[in-house]
Every structure is written in C-alpha cells, then in structure tokens.
A and B are shown apart, each in its own frame.
Chain A
Amino acid sequence: MTAGTGRDVSGAPGGGATGLVCPAWGGGMEGDAGPGDARRALGHLVEAVLASRGEANAVFDILAVLQSEDQEEIQEAVHACSRLFGALLARGELFVGQLPSEEMVLTGSRGATRKYKIWMRHRYQSCCNRLGELLAHPSFQVKELALSTLMKFVQLEGEHPLEKPKWEGNYLFPHQLFMLVVGGLLSPEEDRSLLLSQFREYLEHDDIRYHTMQAASNTVARTTNGRPEVPLTFWNNAFMLLSSVSLPRQESTLSSFYVKHTELSDKWKVVHLKEHRKAFQQMWLHFLKHQLPLCVCKKVLVIMHDSILPHLAQPSLMIDFLTRAYDIGGAVSLLALNGLFILIHKHNLEYPDFYRKLYGLLDPSVFHVKYRARFFHLADLFLSSSHLPAYLVAAFTKRLARLALTAPPEALLMVLPFICNLLRRHPACRVLMHRPRGPELDADPYDPTEEDPAQSRALESSLWELQALQQHYHPEVSKAASAINQALSVPEVSIAPLLEVTAFEIFERDLKKKGPGSVPLEFIPARGLLGRREDLCAQHFTLS
C-alpha cells in the first residue's frame, strides 16, 4: 500500500497502515475527471470506511484529496471528512483518553480494536490539522467550509469527549481543537474580518463564548511571546474577535450551549456569568497590556465605555491602560476621557490633575477631529459641576473662545452656546463678559501658552474673541456670539442637539430657509467673470 503511505498527511509513519491493507481502493482517485465523479468516489470511500473497519485505509485517499490544489476538490474532501469523522465520533470509534504515539501502539501487542481506534484517532488529528491550515486558504468558501466543519467537530467532540472524565459530571470541552480554530482565526498574516464575522454567530452560544475568551487570551499571549514586532493585521484580527464578544447584561442562567448536554451541572464554571466576566476581563487585560498600534488603540477606546467597562469584574483594572492612553495626546486622549470618566464617576477613581490635563487637550485641532461631539459631550459633563473654582472655568472659557477663532461654523454653533452655558453655571465668571469700570488694557492678560489653568490669568480677561466672532460671516454664528451682549438668560441651552451638527446640515438648512419676499439682487451690473477691477479675483487672477 505504497500509495497510502505516500499520501500520509500528518507525516506519521505511513507504514503503520500495512496491517490494514485494502488493495481494492488503492488507486481509486487517479482517474478523477470532474467534481461530480470526485464526490461520488469520495462518497464510496466514506461509505466503505464506515461500513467495515477493513476498509479503513481509504481514509488516506480522502485525506490526500484534502491536500489538493483544486478548490472544489478540497470542498468535496472537507464534506467527506465531515461526514466520515462525524459518524466515527458519534459511534465512538475514536480512541478516548491520552493518545499514545502511533508507533508505540502499533508495535505493542494490544487488541486490534484498540489499535484501530488509536490509528483512526491519529487520522482524525491530521484531518483537523489540515482543516486548521485550510483556514488560511485563499478562497473564502473553503475557509468558511473549514470553519464550519471544525465547529461541527467541536460540537461532536464535546458531546462525545475524547478524554476520560476525571470524575462523575466532569465538564469536558475539546480545548485543543478549539485552540486550533481560534489560532487559525487570529492570523498574523492576513485580515480575517470576513471569517470572524462568520464566527460571530457561534459566539452567541455561552460555552463557545467562554472558551473563545480563554483561547483568545492564550493565543494573544502565544503570538506576542518572544516576538519583538507583531504585525498590525494580527492586532486587527484580535480586536475584531475580542470586540465581537459581548456578555449578557444581567445575571441569567446561561443555558444556550453549542455542545448539547443532557443536563447542566451547577458546578461547571461555564454556567456562571461571574466566571464569564473573569474570563472577559482576563482576555482584555492580556490584550491591552501590549503596546497596541494607535489605530487599534483608538478602536478599543471607542467601544471602551459601553461594551468593555460594564462587563469587567473589576473595572478599575483598566486604569493603567486608560492613563497610558490619556497621556498619548491628541485624539487618543480625547477618547480615553470617556473611559476615565466612567471610572471616576462610578468607581471612585482619584485622578490627579484631571482638569489640568483636560485643559491641555484643548488645542485648535479639537474642532476638526472626528470625535468632536463625544469630546464636547464629556467636557460638558466634566464642567457641569457647580463646585469648580471660578479660575478654572474662566480658563476653560477663555481657551475655548480662543480656539473658536479658528473653528469652522458648525463647531462654532456648538461651542458658543457651550461657553454661554459655562458662564451661566458660574456667575463668578460673568466678569468675562461684563466688567464695568475696568481699565482699558494694552494686551490680553490671558496667557494662552500657560499649561496650568490657575496661572493663566483668565479671570482678568474678557471674551474679546466672542466680540470678534460677532462679525462672523455666517448669520447664525454671529447671532450666537451676540448673546454675550445682553445679560444671559437663566436657563441653560441644551447643547446635545448641536453636538452632531455637520456643515452639510447647516448648508441644507440654509438652502431650505425661505426669506420674506423676493430674492434681493446685486444692483451693480456684472462685467465679466472676474468681477470689477478692484476685486481681489481680478487683481490676482487672469483668464488666460
């Protein structure tokens, strides 16, 4: 049976098969023409193997097709393997317990059944390995098929465990096989987001989720261990997997299991949400302790406040990550604010110099970043306390006003009411807009470069910036800035609806607005494209 040995997958000594010769099927695969034939041939093989133990060597042929280059052949082979080993698992024809090495068993003088079982278990092992490799196949269909087959094996193996229970009611799960799956999903080379989204539906099952969390943290540890440079794709894949794990919000019996059990024992860890939380926390902590690339960091921070922090057993453990992120600066800091806020607000975190750092975050780019709405929502929360010292609020007001001088109109429409709200909350800061009998100054006493709000002398200043913005070209901005001309009304203006306003929305609103009467027209007749002689366009541009 040289053909069989030659096609041995796992590299295990194929000579072992000599005891189970099956000459009839030896070269059964050579004459294949089309996929239909292949399917039929494979079907025959599978049936033969299942029918009699004597035909067992045909497994090699099936496994050989699994190695094929052709996509369709592989798919057929995967289907065949799935049927074959599914049936074998269900029948219990695979060896249960610690698997001895193949040579040892074959040379040993045990019963033929035991030998067969061990041999078949080895074939099963090599099949699983091959399927794990197929998760990296270029064709998505193959990947998907391999994944679903592996998951089917996981299910069957869970029902018919391949290891002996140590005691009655011991919870057994095919950890090794599952590690193989997760390891295949978290590839360092290739973006697996499609496959991961396929995998997401398995995560609805409680047991799969629990073991995924464990396997993921193992895999992350194994991949990063000893490697100086971990590729970005791995982080992306890992983030994708981790972020798709979502725990149930409230305590309920976790009973939707992927592996069917006749009865659930209360002693199993997998049925307790607490254990899930622990695993969840372990997983994220293991993930976040590494030096993450900035984009992944941002992604984590975006989902931090509503899908990570509430599920952690001990949310304060996130503090390390969050403070590190907060110190990075820029958009990452803005995002870290949200998580920090939850920790401060709900978990009694004491954060030194919080407001000073927040003050430091305010730079001109804050109006132009994507997370503007989120940032100002939080800033509004942080500054909503009426116990803040006046100098601090004044410094914030002044800084925001200064930044408003470079802001686009949509941001101005939000930040001007924001400033007015601050002044309303803190009557002590009203001197910024109303300072009767103050001396005329040569320069603004406010020092924009000072990092400490206490030293910025904002309280001695006035909001001249807003006065300048009253000359803004957009009528609504101009009106908003003119609010400081009068004493402010008592009720605050809610800025929530203004946070998400985009320039395009303002544009549409302006277009739809109808003025009274007809459209006013220019009365100076047009001469040409570049306008009159004194126009800038005519001065600096020519037509040809």
Chain B
Amino acid sequence: MGKARSAARGKASAAPAGALGSRARPNPNPFEVKVNRQKFQVLGRKTRHDVGLPGVSRARALQKRTQTLLKEYKERDKSNVFRDKRFGEYNSSISPEEKMMKRFALEQQRQHEKKSIYNLNEDEELTHYGQSLADIEKHNDIVDSDSDTEGRGALSAELTATHFGGGSGPVPGKATQQPSGGEEPPKSRRELIEELIARSKQEKRERQAQREDALELTEKLDQDWKEIQALLACKMPKSESGGGKEKPKPDAYDMMVRELGFEMKAQPSNRMKTEEELAREEQERLRRLEAERLRRMLGRDEDAHSKRPKHLSADDLNDGFVLDTDDRRLLSYKDGKMNVEEEPSGDSSGGESGEEEEEEGEGWSEGGPEDSDSPDGHSDLESDADSKDAHSADGLVGRESDADSVEVHAQLQGDQRPSPGERLPRDDQAAARAQLPYTFAVPESCEELKSLLSGKSMEDQLLVVERIQKCNHPSLAVGNKAKLGKLFGFLLEYIGDLAVSDPPDLGVIDKLVVPLYNLCQMFPESASDAVKFVLRDAMHEMEGTVETTGRAAFPGLDVLIYLKIAGMLFPTSDFWHPVITPALLCLSQLLTKCPVRSLQDAVKGLFVCCVFLDYVALSQRFIPELINFLAGILHMATPNKQSQGYTLVHPFRALGKNSELLLVSDEEDMATWQRRSLPLQWAGGLKAQTETEANHTRLSCLAVCLALVRRCVLAYGALPSFHDIARPLRALLTEHLATRCCPPTLQELSRSVLTEMENQPRHYRPLVCEKSKPVPLKLFTPRLVKVLEFGRKQGSTREEQERRRLIHKHKREFKGAVREIRKDNQFLARMRLSEIMERDAERKRKVKQLFNSLATQEGEWKALKRKKFKK
C-alpha cells in the first residue's frame, strides 16, 4: 500500500504548485483535500506533507485490501490451489526463446496426439521447409518456372507436358528425343518421369556447383586484390581504376609510371633529417630522460608522473621494429592522396633509432646487416612489401599479370626473412659463418643455451644470440615474447658460468653485455626478475655463512659481475628502484661482512667499491660502509700503526694476521712499480705470483684505493659533516705519508688527497627545522559548519552517513509495516464483523420467516377452526 500512498502524495504535492497536469486528477474535490497549514515560511525547506488527499488514499487502500486480503480471507478454508502448469514458467535457466520453442513443440505434440484412435480422417499436416505440402502442391510449378532462367523453361514445359499427358501434340523436346532413341522400346510413362526427375536433379546440382565456383573465384580475386592493393594504393591514385584495363599489354609509358610509383614508395615517407636535426632530437630525448631520472633520484612525486618514457614500453623493440598497427595506416590512401604522416616511430622509437645510429657510428660488428635491415622502423608487413617491391622492380609484367606469383614471392620472402642479418653478408664473414645455421629456436633451459654457445668463437656466440633474438621476434609469433623474456635469464646464468670458469672469459661477457642490454630494454619485467633472482641467490648463500660464522668470504666473480651488470641495465640514481636498491644492499653486505684475507679479496673489495661508487656517481649518495672499507684497506697498507684518531670497524681488525696484508715487503719493488689498471681476472682467481709481482699488486691496490678516496672526497665534500666522515681517512693518510713507504707517485697522490680534504669548506650552520603549520588553540567560539544541503545529517564521514541513512530507512519501513499490519487487522475485523452481522440478519430473517409462516398457519388454522365453530 506504500505505493498507493506515495502516488497519492506525489499528486498531492504537485497540486499546490499549480502543476495539475493531466496525470493528476484534474479537479480534486476541495472537500477531500486536507491542508496542513504552516505557521512560518522557511526558505529552502522542502515541505512534503502540507497537502494530502486522505479520503482518496483511504479508498484506494480499501480497494486494494478487498482485492487481495479479502480474497485470501475468503479462501482461507479452501484447499483447492491454482497451479500454473505452463512449461518452464518459473525456470529462469531457460531463455525465453527456448521456452517458446519448447512450448511450441509441446503444443505440436499435443495436436498430433490423436483424439481418438478411431478417427482416421484427422491427419497431421505435412510440411516441407516449413510450408504446407498442400500449399506447395497448389502452385509449385509457378515458383519453379519463375526462378529459373530461359534454359530451364524448356524442361519445365517438357515436364508439364509429361505431367499432363502430352495429349495436345508433340512437344519439341520430346520430338527430338524420340527419333534419337528410335530403336529403343518406347519407355513407359513411369520410366520417362523418373528420367525427367533424374535429369532435373542433375541440372540443379550442376547449377549449384557453378554458383559455388563463381563464389570461390570471386573470393580469391578479392584476396589477391587485397594483397596487391597495398602496392597499388601507394603507387598512384588512378591505378585502381586502370588496373583492369591495362592488363593485357602494359606499354612503355605505363611501365614508366609504375616504376616512378614504386620508386616513390621505396622512399621513406618523410624527408631525411639533417645532421643538426638529428643531433637536436637526440639531445632533446636525452634531456627528457635525464629530467625523468632526476625526478626519480630525488624520490619526489613517485606516482605523480605515472607516464613512463615511451621507449620503455615492452612492445617497443630496440632493433627498430614498431608494432604494425600505425604503419598499416601509413600505407593507405586518403581521398586520393597518400596518407603521409610524421615519421612512423616518431617519439616512441626516436630513441632507438638514435641509439642504433650511434651503434652504427661506433662500428658495431654487425654493421653491414644492420644497414640493410630496415633502420627507419617499419613493421614486418611493410618490410614484406619492401622486399616484394624489390623483386618486382625487374619483372613488372609477370607480377602484375599473375596474382599468385606475388603470393609466391611473398612466401619466399617470408622464408628468407628469419635471417635478415644475412641478406648482404660480407664475403669474409660469410665464409666464417657458413657453418652456422640461420635460424635458432629459443633455448628452453640454460643448458640448451650453453650447448648452443659453448665451443664457439666470440663472434659466433654473439651472432647466435643475435639470431635467436631476430628469429623469435615478438612480432613474428605469439609465444615469442615469453620465450625471449626467459632468454635474458639464461644469458645471465651463462655469463655467471663464464665468470666462474677458469680463467674467466671476460671478453665474451664484455660483448654479451650489449645483447643483454637490448633484451632488458625489450623485457624490463622479466629482466628485473632475473637479476633479482641471481642477487637473492648470492645473498642467500652469504647469509647462510654469516649466520653460522658471523662473517663470509667474498663471493665469486660472477656475483660481482652481476652487480656491475645490474648497474648498467637499470638507472642507479633512482631514490628507490626495485632492482637497484637490493643490489646496493648486497654491495653493502659485501663490504661489511667479508673480511679481506688475501690479495684477491682486496682486489674484489676494491672492485666492489668501484661498482658502488659508480652506482652513486650521479646521485652522490653517501655510503658509510665504503669509507670504512677504504680506511681498512689503507690501514692494511700502513706499516707501523699507532691507531690514533681512527677505529676500524667490523671486517677489519686493528691487529691480526691480515692487518699487514698490503705492506710492500721489498723496498726495491717500489722503484720498479708502474701504475696500471688492475686486471679483473685477478678477482676470479689470483695465480701464484712471485714476491715482486705480489708487491706490485699491492701497490696497484693501494693506488686504486687512494684514487677512490679522492673520488669520495670530491663527492662528499659538500656533506655537512664531511670532516667527521673523513676523519679516519685523514688520520690514516697522514700516518701513511709520514712513514714514506711508497713510491713517489703514490705519495704525491695521497698528498693531493689530503690537501683536497683540507680544502673542503667547513661550514657548520646550525640546523633549523622547517616551519610547520602551528596547531590552532582550542577556542570557545561556536563551531560554524557550512550547510551544503538541507535535510541531510552533517558532520560525519561518508560511511557514518550511509549507516545512519540505513538505520533511518529501516525505522521508517518498520513503522510503515506495523501500520499496515494494524490496518490489515482492522480491515479483517471489520469484514468479520460484517460477516457475523450478515449471518445474524439472515438468521433473524429466517426465524422471522418461520414465525411468519407459522403465524400464517396458525391464523389459517384458527380461521378454519372459527369457520368450524361458525358452522
């Protein structure tokens, strides 16, 4: 009844606004309208109950009750139930269409059931293709002859002739037939008809076959057209219309036009950029990337710029390929003009093309093949077209006349394509690589990759990796992306194996870094996962030994190389980076947990320091462990230690068996020593050295250490407490200088470092906190709240408001329900009362009637008696 009420309310509230539309009752009885008078007008308040039509709504409620409740009440003692037996009426799993179908079937079935088995006449109606056979019989021939063309008219005439007995003279067809089969015994009518039927059927079949052929041909033509459409489209605007006509004989002029058209196609779609433009673009790109890097380094607004540099997209490939959707448009026409846009790769691959050019400039070993590879970033589809052009340039006629040949060409190209690097092999290279297959599957495991690469020369290994990459380019097949993603991990593992082999094959690693970088650019996620995995492995191993012994040995060269590679693949200056931050911690652990026990350890430690400083080269971040480590190394190289002014921390000890590891044992070796770079191989395994060589190594280590100290001084000079940081280093250096136990170059170096240290500014400005907003005092002035919407509870959270709203609604509904129930009961009671009254009245009436009749009887009887008395 709520609905009724609300409807009534809606009408009532509309009434005073003058909107007595046709919807509302046009002219309510003014005696039915009840108006709640308002004492004051409040602006903005919605009044909902000012006018009502109680009589109308009550009547409506009563009506509804009589229709529902009363009916129920009256049927309360009846056990008969109305049952809905419509098929699937309450089954929601069947769709309405299905329902209808089923119902129809059931109906049909019911019809087909014979009412009585004796009723033979009633037969079901036979149909063919949904049409009643009776109908078809009526005008089947008309339909047939209409649809058929003139060739079949004869047959139908024949047919009719035979059907109708052919009594009215010889039919031409029959006349010709009869003489030819003169010797044969005349066929019976039945045979003739069968023959006719067979013939017509055969014809019908033939007609169908013909039609199918035509369709097929059309389709094929369409397909062929589509394939060459691309070529025609960019050739010239009119080729489309002229294509059909020129087919037979292309003259010289046409050929010329075609050639010109093709030439135009072969050109890149926009002009070559000048050197300055290229340089400017490159500069622009680098500037943008640098800005991005800086933003990440400072760790500001991490997610403000969710847009990553476009070249990082996983689909974007370093080798100049761009996914095809855009390029396809590039090849199309637009109202008669070639749809030339900006360079297809545009912003998105500008970086790559620039890089590639750099690579070429640097004399990348695969320069030749790279050149022939489409450098301006075409899709493979386009490159297909490219090659087709190349092929058709000499044999235009053949290609044009035969659409299939184009397809063959395309297939040929497709077969050759997987080895793009080999299209223009230099002669000497071709000889060298003759034995290498052109295509490689992506290895499924690291062992597979190892077996592919092992035993090959450096160039061959690189070539194999490159070919794997090219043959399984993500744009070639669906699964390639995942496969190549795994390749990064395998390559990394392979590099680790190379690093721990004896002697470490650093040359190959050096070269493999480039494909690794390229793969990383293609698949950042899988690359970061792979690097994280190897780092976790290394740390896990170290953690195990640290747990048991409290210290660990320096890990093998592979871990160091992984760390170095991680720094090259990912931006090391980020404030936080998913790979670099753990790598930094790993480096820190190497410096704090691994004591230096041998010269090899010293070399490793110094390499770690170098990597660490390279990591923070841009961000200039502070590394306490590094300072400690350098101090420790200096301590090892200082002869008589007073240990004044500095304390060594964990992995180093002031006194102990390794505390003089880097001391030069022979004075003469100092003179012969020359400053050289340390070979990284020594970190892998230091061969047994003579005493002189060992001394030279010590001096080299010391030189590197001093250089690193110098670098630290330069980097951290600006830190506010630099002098406190550098205090142990300074103490050690002065001590070191005082002993004069090293070659003059090193003394010079340490002296310069010391002076540099002294020259750093000593500014100690007292710290001041940033001003923060003062907390307001609590006051007693009333709190003023802006009321934005009337009738809504203010000053709470959204959830609280929602909850309150729900509670309120529930309360209202509850009250409404109680009221309704009460009214129902009243209604029922009224009904019951009226029933009883009715029943009583009936009884009274009947009693009265009885009395009446009795009285009449009595009266009659008395009258009779009286009559008797009278007699």
**Chain A at the B interface: SS class:** loop
- Name the A residues within 8 Å of B624 (CB-CB): 404-408, 412, 472
Assess the B309–A529 pair: CB atoms within 8 A: no
Contact with A along B646-657 (1 / 0, CB 8 A): 011110000000
Assess the B506–A543 pair: CB atoms within 8 A: yes
- Name the A residues within 8 Å of B359 (CB-CB): 525
Contact with A along B665-681 (1 / 0, CB 8 A): 00000000000111111
Assess the B677–A542 pair: CB atoms within 8 A: yes
Name A536's contact: one of B355, B527, B582, B708 (CB within 8 Å).
Answer: B708
Stretch at the interface among B371-379, B413-421, B567-575, B633-641: B567-575
Interface residues of B in 549-577 (CB under 8 A from A): 550, 561, 564-565, 567-572, 574-577
Interface residues of A in 449-499 (CB under 8 A from B): 462-465, 467-469, 471-475, 478, 484-487
Assess the B570–A521 pair: CB atoms within 8 A: yes
- Name the B residues within 8 Å of A30 (CB-CB): none
A519 to B306, CA, bound (A): 12
A467 to B769, CA, bound (A): 11
On whether A529 and B513 interact (CB within 8 A), knowing A433-B767, A536-B613, A540-B610, the answer reads yes
Interface residues of B in 751-776 (CB under 8 A from A): 762-770, 772
- Name the A residues within 8 Å of B524 (CB-CB): 518-519, 521
- In the assembled complex, the CB of A427 is this many whole angstroms from the nearest CB of chain B, namely 13
Assess the A516–B299 pair: CB atoms within 8 A: no
A97 to B663, CA, bound (A): 74
Stretch at the interface among A102-110, A230-238, A348-356, A437-445: A437-445
Assess the A542–B510 pair: CB atoms within 8 A: no
Which of B606, B623, B765, B766 has most chain A Cβ within 10 Å?
B766
Please give me the residue from chain A that is nearest to B577 by CB atom: A520
Assess the A507–B766 pair: CB atoms within 8 A: no
A113 on the B face (CB < 8 A): no
Q: How many residues of B contact A (CB 8 A)?
A: 114
Stretch at the interface among B61-69, B84-92, B614-622, B812-820: B614-622
- Name the B residues within 8 Å of A486 (CB-CB): 769-770, 772
Assess the B764–A473 pair: CB atoms within 8 A: no
Name B768's contact: one of A407, A434, A469, A540 (CB within 8 Å).
Answer: A434
Contact count band on A: 35 or more
A471 to B623, CA, bound (A): 9
- In the assembled complex, the CB of B836 is this many whole angstroms from the nearest CB of chain A, namely 77
- Name the B residues within 8 Å of A523 (CB-CB): 286, 289, 293, 309, 311, 351, 571
B463 on the A face (CB < 8 A): no
A511 on the B face (CB < 8 A): yes
A153 to B535, CA, bound (A): 60
Stretch at the interface among B108-116, B151-159, B585-593: B585-593
Contact with B along A387-423 (1 / 0, CB 8 A): 0000000000000001011111100100000000000
Assess the A526–B517 pair: CB atoms within 8 A: yes
B521 on the A face (CB < 8 A): yes
Name A507's contact: one of B585, B707, B764 (CB within 8 Å).
Answer: B585
Residues of A that sit less than 8 Å from B by CB? 363-365, 367-368, 370, 402, 404-409, 412, 432-436, 438-444, 448, 462-465, 467-469, 471-475, 478, 484-487, 503-504, 506-508, 510-511, 513-523, 525-531, 535-537, 539-544
Q: List 21 A-B contacts (CB under 8 A).
A: A402-B724, A406-B627, A435-B768, A440-B765, A440-B766, A443-B762, A464-B767, A467-B767, A468-B721, A468-B725, A473-B588, A473-B622, A474-B588, A484-B769, A520-B296, A522-B517, A522-B568, A525-B514, A540-B606, A540-B708, A543-B507
Residues of B that sit less than 8 Å from A by CB? 286, 289, 292-293, 296, 299, 302-303, 306, 308-309, 311-312, 314, 351, 355, 358-359, 506-507, 509-511, 513-514, 516-517, 520-521, 524-525, 527-528, 532, 535-536, 539, 543, 546, 550, 561, 564-565, 567-572, 574-579, 581-582, 584-586, 588-589, 592-593, 606-607, 610-611, 613-617, 619-625, 627-628, 647-650, 676-681, 704, 707-708, 711, 716, 719-725, 762-770, 772
Nearest 7 interchain pairs by C-beta: A438-B766, A368-B650, A435-B766, A526-B517, A473-B621, A441-B764, A464-B720
Beyond A441-B765, A526-B517, 20 additional pairs, beta carbon < 8 A: A364-B647, A365-B649, A412-B624, A436-B766, A440-B764, A464-B720, A472-B622, A473-B623, A474-B581, A478-B575, A486-B772, A511-B535, A518-B308, A518-B524, A521-B521, A523-B309, A526-B513, A529-B564, A540-B610, A543-B681
